[in-house]
């Protein structure tokens, strides 16, 4: 596995990591299987995909517990990334609210450490910035956790460049995690005077940019069809996965497949390799609960896209339907 820097920490990590969320949350509830997920996480470590992403929100703590179980005995090999700041009110209805207060942070970090069964969290993100709590207050409280040895490095999720700058002035931003894929390119758009957007800001400030949903929640792999989602699946109610939007967005998948055929790789690998091509600081975390997909996704670290491939991918039409 090719390696990339984790922010300015001096640590190198596999250039493709693993998103664990789908093992407990949002997709295909009937296909979840903890034993298989534990094996998949271990396989990711075997193959060098050691950035393992979770959040306290995913399955109301289930996902952190699962990850903790999987890495027991292999703690030093894993880079454990988790998040706080979204409080689940109703698991079934997936109703939640933001809370970035110091008081909540204190409780949240202890609960995550307990569920993960680790002494320290490697990368701790604020999952969504709470408009009711000044970011400086939240980030300052998170920096105290670093001083106390409960957390090693800090990250922001779905932040703006202005927010990243503000946080970075208080304590280094090691990573920013936002959606980035062939059908969601906002993180590359100019923002706050930064020409290359959030990805550009990360490049210039020594932070990692961690694209979430690099496979477009499965769509870009070309294996999804409208009408196939279970009622509880996030995609069943997502505007981008409505029948008409999926039909319109098929043009994107067709373009990805064309490049994949040319390179003799899979559409999933093209989608991941495209994120890696956006900058040396980019470390995508495709999500899967299947060993076959995991192997395919991690092997995308070795896929080289040519200038022509990238030009064709950049010329794909924008997605129809909003992200949420
Ligand atoms: N910060 C945030 O707000 C935020 C939001 C969303 C996600 N995330 C993080 O980002 C990670 C990745 O995002 P995601 O899981 O939402 O979306 P994703 O990685 O874009 O796609 C995951 C979907 O693609 C399928 N898949 C994976 N590899 C495949 C392959 N090679 N061929 C065909 N299908 C494949 C998976 O199926 P199977 O499950 O059947 O393998 C799953 O349905 C999450 O796990 C989570 O850790 C963070």
pLDDT (tens, 9 = 90+) of the chain, 324 residues, equals: 999 999 999 999 999 999 999 999 999 888 899 999 999 999 999 999 999 999 999 999 999 999 999 999 999 999 999 999 999 998 888 999 999 999 999 999 999 999 999 999 999 999 999 999 999 999 999 999 999 999 999 999 999 999 999 999 999 999 999 999 999 999 999 999 999 999 999 999 999 999 999 999 999 999 998 778 999 999 999 999 999 999 999 999 999 999 999 999 999 999 999 999 999 999 999 999 999 999 999 999 999 999 999 999 999 999 988 888
Terminus-to-terminus CA distance in the chain, angstroms? 33
The answer to whether 145 and 139 are in contact (CB under 8 A) is: no
Quick check: is 58 catalytic?
A: yes
Q: Is residue 237 part of a domain?
A: yes
Q: How many domains does the chain have?
A: 1
- Hey, whose CA ends up nearest to atom 9 of ligand 1? 212
Q: Is residue 324 part of a domain?
A: no
CATH code at position 186: 3.20.20.100
What is the 148 CA–ligand 1 centroid distance (Å)?
33
- Those residues whose C-beta lies under 8 Å from the C-beta of residue 8, and which sit 6 or more positions away, are 172, 174, 206, 207
Which of 187, 208, 287 is the best mutation target for the ligand 1 pocket, counting ligand atoms within 8 Å of the beta carbon and taking the most? 287
User: Taking CB atoms and a 6 Å cutoff, what residues make up the pocket around ligand 1?
Assistant: 19-22, 27-28, 53, 157-158, 177, 212-218, 221, 223, 268, 285-290, 293, 296-297
In the sheet with 79-84, reading across from the earlier edge strand, the strands are 18-19, 51-53, 79-84, 121-126, 151-157, 175-179, 208-212
Q: Is residue 320 part of a domain?
A: no
Q: Which atom of ligand 1 is nearest to the CA of 181?
A: 20
Q: Is residue 323 part of a domain?
A: no
- Name the residue range of residue 104's domain: 3-314
What torsion, rounded to 10 degrees, do the Cα atoms 269, 271, 273, 275 define? -150
């Amino acid at each position: 596995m090719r390696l990339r820097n984790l922010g300015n920490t001096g640590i190198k990590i596999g250039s493709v990591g693993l998103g664990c969320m789908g093992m407990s949350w949002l997709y295909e509830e009937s296909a979840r299987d903890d034993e298989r997920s534990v094996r998949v996480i271990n396989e990711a470590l075997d193959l060098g995909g050691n950035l393992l992403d979770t959040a306290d929100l995913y399955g109301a703590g289930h996902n952190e517990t699962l990850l903790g179980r999987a890495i027991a005995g292999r703690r030093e090999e894993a880079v454990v990334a988790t998040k706080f700041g979204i409080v689940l009110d109703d698991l079934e209805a997936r109703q939640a609210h933001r809370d970035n207060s110091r008081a909540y942070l204190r409780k949240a970090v202890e609960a995550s450490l307990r569920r993960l069964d680790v002494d320290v969290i490697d990368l701790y993100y604020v999952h969504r910035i709470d408009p009711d709590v000044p970011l400086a207050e939240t980030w300052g409280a998170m920096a105290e956790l670093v001083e106390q040895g409960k957390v090693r490095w800090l990250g922001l999720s779905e932040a703006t460049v202005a927010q990243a700058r503000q946080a970075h002035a208080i304590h280094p931003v090691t990573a920013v995690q936002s959606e980035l894929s062939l059908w969601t390119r906002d993180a590359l758009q100019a923002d706050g005077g930064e020409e290359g957007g959030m990805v550009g800001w990360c490049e210039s400030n020594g932070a990692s940019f961690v694209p979430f949903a690099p496979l477009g929640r499965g769509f870009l792999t070309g294996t999804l069809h409208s009408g196939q989602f279970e009622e509880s699946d996030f995609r069943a109610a997502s505007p981008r996965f409505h029948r008409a939007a999926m039909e319109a967005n098929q043009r994107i998948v067709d373009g990805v497949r064309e490049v994949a055929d040319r390179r003799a790789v899979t559409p999933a690998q093209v989608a991941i390799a495209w994120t890696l091509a956006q900058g040396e600081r980019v470390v995508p975390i495709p999500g899967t609960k299947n060993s076959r997909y995991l192997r395919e996704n991690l092997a995308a670290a070795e896929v080289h896209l040519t200038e022509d491939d990238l030009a064709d991918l950049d010329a794909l039409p924008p997605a129809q339907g909003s992200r949420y």
